[in-house]
Amino acid sequence: MNTRIVEVRAKVLRQNDLLAYALRDSFRASGVSVISLVSSPGSGKTTFLEKLLSVLAPEFRVAALVGDLATENDASRLRRATPNVRQITTGTICHLDAQMIKRALEGWRLDALDFLFIENVGNLVCPSSYDLGEELRFLLLSATEGEDKPLKYPTIFNSSDVAIITKMDMAEAAEFDAAAARRNIEGVRPGMQIFEVSAKTGLGMPHVFQFLRDTKSSNAQVAEAFPRAGNLQSTNKA
Spatial strand order in the sheet of 193-196: 85-89, 62-68, 115-119, 33-39, 136-142, 162-166, 193-196
> Does 3.40.50.300 match the CATH number of domain 2-221?
yes
**Cα–Cα distance for residue pair 125/107, rounded to 1 Å:** 31
pLDDT tens per residue across span 2-37: 665 556 567 778 999 999 999 999 999 999 999 999
**Cα–Cα distance for residue pair 116/41, rounded to 1 Å:** 21
pTM: 0.88
| Helix/strand/coil for 233 | strand
Judge contact between 134 and 36, C-beta under 8 A. yes
Q: Does the pLDDT value for residue 232 go beyond 80? A: no
- Per DSSP, the residues of 121-163 read -S-SSGGGG---S-SEEEEEEEGGG-TTHHHH-HHHHHT-SEE
CB atoms within 10 A of CB 68: 20
pLDDT tens per residue across span 161-213: 999 999 999 999 999 999 999 999 999 999 999 999 999 999 999 999 999 99
**Cα–Cα distance for residue pair 224/106, rounded to 1 Å:** 23
Nearest to 196 by CA among 48, 10, 3, 67: 48
**Cα–Cα distance for residue pair 121/135, rounded to 1 Å:** 18
